């Protein structure tokens, strides 16, 4: 991939994220999320390996479904209330659909199955972007719309994510899959806090992003993707 193409995709990612976090209208938020999805797809599939193509396809289908649900939720709310404002989501069905859409976007259980597979098919740098930067727009939406979301469904999914993330990560030998399940578990804790203290959730997310970035960058330097190869890294780079 040429540097110009990488620059275009990076700018598109920034643009999509900025649109989402600064918008007040559901349609512009949906557009921002779509720009983000389309910008990351070539980065996932850049190695042209069948596993990478499969990961890109899975990511596209999941994110497209989640974005469609989000738009459907906003349209349902607008149909009943006449409001397109992000803070005016009051219709119960719309709240339920939005909760599901955001859970799918973030990779909360039981919508988590795509995340480990996509991370496994991506390079370490792309996996880092998927684990941190791509979680930021839906996390922002979760914080802004937290009073409107369905608390029962949200809490159930959060508990399930925290349990499944920790439990399923035990059985893995691939580091990217372990980090994917770690991400699912962390998300569970963030989501369970969101209805009580959104600022604490944001702090949790920042700390998670910082730790994940450190781990991914270290693994990228020592070119490690399996647990078994971690054993020999002490001799190669003792400092790291």
Residues 137 and 221: beta-carbon distance below 8 Å: no
* pLDDT band at 235; cut points 50, 70, 90: confident
pLDDT of residue 104: 96
* pLDDT band at 117; cut points 50, 70, 90: very high
pLDDT of residue 233: 82
pLDDT of residue 209: 96
Portion of the chain with pLDDT greater than 90, in percent: 80
Does the pLDDT of residue 217 top 90, yes or no? yes
Domain ranges of the chain: 3-227
pLDDT of residue 220: 92
Rounded average pLDDT over 129-155: 93
Does the pLDDT of residue 222 top 80, yes or no? yes
Does the pLDDT of residue 236 top 80, yes or no? no
pLDDT of residue 34: 96
As a residue count, the chain comes to 240
* pLDDT band at 18; cut points 50, 70, 90: very high
Residues 202 and 143: beta-carbon distance below 8 Å: yes
Q: Which of 46, 206, 47, 225 is nearest to 132 (CA)?
A: 206
Model pLDDT for residues 40-97, shown as the tens digit of each residue: 999 999 888 999 999 999 999 999 999 999 999 999 999 999 889 998 899 999 999 9
pLDDT of residue 239: 80
Does the pLDDT of residue 171 top 90, yes or no? no
Rounded average pLDDT over 140-159: 92
Rounded average pLDDT over 23-51: 94
Rounded average pLDDT over 17-36: 95
CA-angle at 128, arms to 122 and 134, nearest 5°: 95
């Amino acid at each position: 991939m040429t540097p110009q193409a990488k620059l275009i995709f990076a700018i598109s990612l920034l643009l999509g994220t900025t649109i989402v976090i600064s918008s007040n209208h559901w349609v512009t938020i949906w557009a921002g999320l779509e720009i983000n999805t389309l910008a990351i797809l070539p980065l996932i599939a850049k190695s042209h390996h069948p596993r990478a193509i499969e990961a890109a396809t899975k990511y596209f289908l999941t994110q497209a479904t989640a974005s469609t649900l989000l738009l459907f939720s906003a349209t349902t709310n607008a149909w009943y209330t006449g409001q397109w404002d992000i803070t005016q989501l009051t219709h119960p069905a719309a709240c339920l659909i939005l909760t599901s859409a955001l859970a799918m976007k973030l990779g909360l259980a039981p919508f988590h199955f795509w995340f480990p597979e996509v991370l496994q098919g991506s390079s370490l740098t792309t996996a880092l972007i998927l684990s941190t930067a791509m979680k930021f727009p839906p996390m922002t939406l979760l914080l802004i719309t937290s009073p409107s979301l369905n608390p029962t469904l949200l809490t159930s999914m959060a508990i399930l994510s925290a349990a499944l993330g920790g439990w399923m990560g035990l059985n893995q030998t691939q580091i990217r899959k372990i980090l994917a399940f770690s991400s699912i578990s962390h998300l569970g804790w963030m989501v369970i806090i969101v209805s009580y203290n959104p600022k604490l959730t944001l702090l949790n997310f920042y700390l998670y992003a910082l730790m994940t970035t450190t781990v991914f960058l270290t693994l990228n330097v020592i070119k490690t993707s399996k647990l078994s190869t971690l054993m020999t890294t002490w001799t190669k780079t003792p400092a790291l």
